[in-house]
Structure 1
Amino acid sequence: MEFSLLGPVTVTDERAELPLGPPKRRSVLAMLLLQPNTTVSVEQLTASVWEEEPPEHARTVIQGHVSKLRATLAGGGAEQYGVELTTRGSAYLLRLPESLVDAHRFSELAALARPTAAPEQAVGLLHEALTLWRGPALTGTVSSPPLAAAAHALEERRLTAVESLGTAYGSLGEHDRAAAVLAAEAVTHPLREGLVAALMLALYRAGRQSDALDRYHHTRRLLADELGVDPGERLRAAYQRILTGAHAGQPDRPAAGPGRNRTVPPPGRTPPDAAPAPGTAAGTPPGTVPPPRPTGALPPPGSTGAVTPPPAGAEPPTGAPGPADGAWPPGGSAGPPRAAGGPTAPGRPAPPQLLPRPPAGFLGRTAESAQLTRLALPGGAASADSALVLVSGPAGVGKTALAVRWAHSHADAFPDGRLFADLRGFSGGEEAQPGQVLREFLLALGVEAARIPESADAAAALYRSLAADRALLVVLDNARSSAQVRPLLPAGPACATLVTSRSRLDGLVATDSARPVRLHALDTEDGVALLGAVLGQDRVTEDPAAAHELVALCNGLPLALRAAAAQLTARPRWRLARLASALRDERKRLALLSAEDTGVAAALRASVARLSADDVRLLATLGTSFAREVDAGAVAELAGSDPDVTRDALDRLAEVHLIDEEATNRYVMSDLVKLFAQEGRDRPDPGRDPDGG
């Protein structure tokens, strides 16, 4: 039995996740798990379950939730795991081995890590600790002050572990990896000055002085604009050190044999503590004399931290990049798995694990998942060549979620690693260049930064040669064009590639034998199930007719349904019928189906940003002058244009799934796209693609 706090609050036994019920019951369990083997008073539980003044019968409600939790745990065989929920007067006690709680295991692993004294072990320990996180802590509980404070404390501990991981990589001289780990968190925590300072120094040591200085000035402007303050001492000190090249206060200690004759444990495995053989430095093969430790001075820009070439037969490191927002960005300067033009080296780095964390609350898609399995798994329908599967569909339909969920479920079929890249094809900003992605992939596969070719074509050739005899899974998310994807395709027959895109990418189908998997909106049953998973089944069951109407008003789009669920989660006193009534007002629907910078309108803006001005005008015409179904001839007549030109324009809109071709020359537009077109929202959104592809 396992208890999870680092993400959605869940309990799983050997078979499946146990049904915990509504958010208030999960909140009671979370408070008990945050203080295991300690009595928790009814007053404490009451404060955690109600955001505002609790009702008079609060004690009775708490008793009911505890009773249901006790029955649920008993049904999962709690007794055999040493788990017992008991009453102690006016308090409750959850007795259990603390190792069953993921937050406890995380704290133990993080506490064991010594990033400067034992960086090799620290990388493995911290990597294992961070993989326990599956999303924001305490997801699914009530947003009460006690639980919000507990979630914030857990998040602070996670960020501290990420900073320690960056320190460990820096101590090993692997500054590219340190920068990759820290950069991902700096994006979501841009005002955390300690994190930004560490990132600046890692960038400088990796030979990226201009990037480091840009990061400082960007943060300085943010602090001034948002808080009205100047940079703090740590940030200013890092800036001065970079400008002067002075000692950074942190040793840059490469491992024996310049960072290559060591073994960093892979994720999920605790590193051994065995002492080296007499006369042999730790991590150094017998007969090899390790190089002297550097003095700790800041290396000049462009330095990889290496001191001398490794001895013949030295084992390359097995350290893998670490997660950020669920994904571990590639980085590092480990030795390549094979010498150029030579045979495979005796050792390889640990398989890269770059996938984002599995999507929470994923439901349905059984047929599409089975289709992916048939087309992508080794030995499947595409086994003669490297499998290439294209998952396409409209914005917000859940392409990324399906691809990432499938990739995690079938990770064992690809023992040499899983690579992931967001190509930002429909993100409203600059799309990722193949050369940038190739560099990240090569670093993840163990190639030294200094050995990566400058030419994108040469880098692609090296990437294909490394993948030729490996079983790799490559997920290329949010692609805009076939040309963006082709340099990133591995050549090995045991490899598989999943591409997600809002475009059909007919070029990949025509020239690269891509197998298309079209993703449609959820049916009513799956849509209602998704609402139940996010809101709690009790809330949906009390008003099933309204739940069905919400699915229809959201066009069955998972993104829209999650945005609607966010509105209801923020308003726990609203019934589903109240939101359904509000969504019937077409003037408010798109606004209500948004949560901060995420929502249907933002996703559609990113799609429309890739259209020509003529196609944007055509989309607006369809939204304002026609019903949901249109005929190509009628559109051409209204526009006063050549029918063939009009059909080509309609096909371009269909290619990016803004409309669908229902029959020859007959097209249909969803209600949400029609509302968006009527509002004339034709400007790109500067934020990140909310659908992830």
Structure 2
Amino acid sequence: MEFSLLGPVGVATGAGELVLGPAKRRSVLALLLLQPNITVTIEQFMSSLWEDEPPAHARTVVQGHVSRLRQMLAEGGAEAYGVELVTRGSSYLLRLPEELIDAHRFSGLMALARPESAPQDAVSLLREALGLWRGPALSGTVSGAQFAAAAHALEERRLAAVGALATAHGALGEHDHAAAILYAEAAANPLREGLVAALMQALYRGGRQSDAINWFHRTRQLLGEELGVDPGERLTRAYEEILRAEAVATQPPARTQPPARQQPSGPVDPRVQPAPERAQQPSIPRQQGHAPAAQGRSPGSGTTGGPGGTDSTVDTGSTGGTRGTGSTGGAPDRSTAPRFLPRPPARFLGRETQLAELTRWLTDTGSGESPIAVVTGPAGVGKTACAVQWSHRYASAFPDGQLFADLGGFGEGAEATPTAVLREFLLGLGTPPEQIPPSADAASALYRSLVARRRVLVVLDNARSSAQVRPLLPGGPGCATIVTSRSRLDGLVVTDVARPVPVQVLGTDEGVALLGTMLGHDRVAEEPDAARALVALCEGLPLALRAAAAQLTARPRWRLARLAAALGDERRRLSLLSAEDTGIAAALRNSVARLSADDARLLSQLAMGTGREVDALAMAALAGSDPERARDGLDRLAEMHLVDEAATDRYVISTLVQLFARDKEAGEGGSPPASTER
């Protein structure tokens, strides 16, 4: 017989779970288990079970639930385990060996773990302890201050165990494991600065410094928006330690004599004058992935900074005279070329067709033009991963630098402005801050001049429109550009001969292989049918499959079939696939938020239908509009990859999009969104 508090309150016997019944009965049992072998007065029960004044018959209700619990325990063989529910006057006592309570076993395992002095043993102990959790503590009890406080205390213990497990992995040098453990908890508890600080340190020690710094800026922004405060001491200290360590690791050797200043050999913006020689000052070099346009950009700001919000980075070149020439001639110093790419995607799989198309299009030097590829696809399909993977693979083909910017076209915050992105690109290319033109047009002209004779790769991620991209396009024949977007960006195809590179969902075999890379091939091979079912339920979306794998990683005792069964419940599917802040629900929310009110209403009407496929005429009848208007709306949804055009005038909506749109409609009471943007 086992008693559960770490999840739904319950009792398990050799014959299965006891059916406890209503929430108040579970709550009576929970109070007894929270104070095992200690009497609980009937007044304590009454004050805990009713938030307001207990009803006149409250005493009778408590007595009835105790009587029923006693009967159920007896039928479950409680006596054989030394379990007895006894009455002592007007109080009750649950007498039992405390080892039968999962919360007691959890505390015992935690007490035995020594993450720093005996990390290998601690990993085993803490994983076993965390494996006892089956969900939020004290689930199924009535709402009330006492249960909320007890659940909060247990949750604090669980988070402490997570932190200790990460510490143990870190002590073993397994920093990637530590980061993976902390990531989900930091995403679920974004205002817990201690968790975020520990995650930042684990990411940095695992070689992911750009990700670590990005977490700091994201948390700083959230603290300001939600609480109106700056980061605390621990979070700030972790950030500064990373920056100091980076500065020491990457500080270039001092030059005894600065090189002669190069003179401009091409057109230069008349407002951009050569900077005076500057004495070298202690500073933190701008590193790959640290550029504000690439990582850690506050929406609309285009800058990163330290705890106070000011820019704490400097340009990448030496402090000698090669800076700020604005020259289109002369050989650039490739040792200081910008390397803004984020880290390569973890466990990247497949996409060989798309990678080959990018190679064929972007490395063709015969045309004398600057090629552009637009990687498109639905939310969560892995567009950015594909673009970044190719960029790292062929970085050596662009020795004068790789620029990266998240344009925020489908993010939670404001989009990145061309002026802000151009400023970061120009800084990375060696332009002193005081020589950057204030207007977007002038900055764009200077940017094109600087790269005109260089071989630079530009990656513009998460673009919303062609107009957002055009000021950021280089013009030199040695440059190449990759744009990713959920929209097709047909305008770039028309005006700039961009090559579309669509990314589709994974097939069954590819999806199973991805699960294998995430969970271990042996674990997946044990349940091949369940693995295929998971791929189908995730509709082959890599983001959904990774979220499913995260659920199973966090629950090593779960079988794949158990998660597949849980995902089969459409009411839970999106929540199970959205454990992180980048989950399926969040990704779709950002797509739908960019629709006009009419298109959002059309999507809701399509989702509320009985089937997944519809033709334009049927949609027009359902929406009460003329066929051409319905067809235009469906085409715009297809352009945003929220529906697929299966055949002429026939459209299909995916189950995940359908579930999201239904949930959104239900949450808004059927009212259309306020947005009028297209």
TM-score where L is the length of structure 1: 0.59
Q: Secondary structure at the match of 2:614?
A: strand
Deviations 1:316-362 (A, max 9, x none): x9954344599667852457756347853775661111111111111
Shift in alpha-carbon separation, 1:319–1:429, aligned structure 2, 3 A: closer
Q: 1:481 aligns with which of 465, 472, 476?
A: 465
Q: Secondary structure at the match of 2:449?
A: helix
In the other structure, the counterpart of 1:47 is 125
The residue type equivalent to 2:216 in the other structure is A
1:411 to 2:395 alignment: yes
The percentage of aligned residue pairs carrying the same residue is 52
Q: Is the 8 A contact 2:407 2:461 kept in 1?
A: yes
In the other structure, the counterpart of 1:643 is 627
CA distance in 1, matches of 2:175, 2:667: 34
Deviations 1:132-191 (A, max 9, x none): x996746489999xxxx99987854877999xx9xxxxxxxxxxxxxx999745324539
Mean Cα deviation higher: 317-326 or 353-362: 317-326
Q: Secondary structure at the match of 1:595?
A: coil
CA distance in 2, matches of 1:234, 1:567: 27
Shift in alpha-carbon separation, 1:437–1:269, aligned structure 2, 3 A: closer
1:221 to 2:188 alignment: no
CA distance in 1, matches of 2:214, 2:500: 31
Q: Secondary structure at the match of 1:464?
A: helix
In the other structure, the counterpart of 1:310 is 277
1:627 to 2:594 alignment: no
In the other structure, the counterpart of 2:353 is 367
Where in structure 1 are there 5+ consecutive unaligned residues?
A: 1-33, 55-101, 107-132, 166-179, 192-214, 236-264, 277-281, 288-305, 685-693
The residue type equivalent to 1:598 in the other structure is T
Shift in alpha-carbon separation, 1:188–1:135, aligned structure 2, 3 A: farther
Q: Secondary structure at the match of 2:314?
A: coil
Mean Cα deviation higher: 327-336 or 513-522: 327-336
In the other structure, the counterpart of 1:190 is 220
Within-5 A mapping of 1:428-439: 428-439=412-423
Q: Secondary structure at the match of 2:437?
A: coil
CA distance in 1, matches of 2:182, 2:434: 48
CA distance in 1, matches of 2:494, 2:401: 28
Number of residue pairs aligned between Structure 1 and Structure 2: 466
Deviations 1:515-537 (A, max 9, x none): 00011100001101111111121
What's the Cα RMSD here?
A: 4.5
Where in structure 2 are there 5+ consecutive unaligned residues?
A: 1-114, 133-168, 186-193, 237-245, 262-272, 297-302, 304-312, 669-678
CA distance in 2, matches of 1:664, 1:560: 29
The Cα of 1:564 is off from its aligned counterpart by 1.0
Q: 1:533 aligns with which of 517, 523, 536?
A: 517
Shift in alpha-carbon separation, 1:502–1:269, aligned structure 2, 3 A: same
1:425 to 2:432 alignment: no
Q: Secondary structure at the match of 2:403?
A: strand
Shift in alpha-carbon separation, 1:220–1:336, aligned structure 2, 3 A: farther
Q: Secondary structure at the match of 2:453?
A: coil
The Cα of 1:447 is off from its aligned counterpart by 0.4
In the other structure, the counterpart of 1:332 is 314
Shift in alpha-carbon separation, 1:136–1:488, aligned structure 2, 3 A: farther
Within-5 A mapping of 1:417-496: 417-496=401-480
Mean Cα deviation higher: 465-474 or 338-347: 338-347
In the other structure, the counterpart of 1:69 is none
Shift in alpha-carbon separation, 1:338–1:493, aligned structure 2, 3 A: farther
Shift in alpha-carbon separation, 1:220–1:638, aligned structure 2, 3 A: closer
CA distance in 1, matches of 2:212, 2:200: 15
Shift in alpha-carbon separation, 1:491–1:559, aligned structure 2, 3 A: same
1 or 2 for the larger relative contact order (CA 8 Å, sep ≥6)? 1
The residue type equivalent to 1:673 in the other structure is V
CA distance in 1, matches of 2:540, 2:219: 33
Q: Is the 8 A contact 2:179 2:199 kept in 1?
A: no
Shift in alpha-carbon separation, 1:418–1:135, aligned structure 2, 3 A: farther
CA distance in 2, matches of 1:319, 1:646: 54
Shift in alpha-carbon separation, 1:220–1:647, aligned structure 2, 3 A: closer
Within-5 A mapping of 1:586-605: 586-605=570-589
Q: Secondary structure at the match of 1:221?
A: coil
Shift in alpha-carbon separation, 1:307–1:683, aligned structure 2, 3 A: farther
Shift in alpha-carbon separation, 1:633–1:413, aligned structure 2, 3 A: same
Shift in alpha-carbon separation, 1:607–1:44, aligned structure 2, 3 A: closer
- Report the structure number with the largest CA radius of gyration: 2
In the other structure, the counterpart of 1:110 is none
Within-5 A mapping of 1:107-506: 137=178, 139=180, 155-156=200-201, 184-190=214-220, 221-222=228-229, 271-272=252-253, 282-284=256-258, 309-310=276-277, 320-324=286-290, 332-333=314-315, 339-340=325-326, 343-344=329-330, 347=333, 350-379=336-365, 383-506=367-490
Shift in alpha-carbon separation, 1:564–1:310, aligned structure 2, 3 A: same
Mean Cα deviation higher: 503-512 or 621-630: 621-630
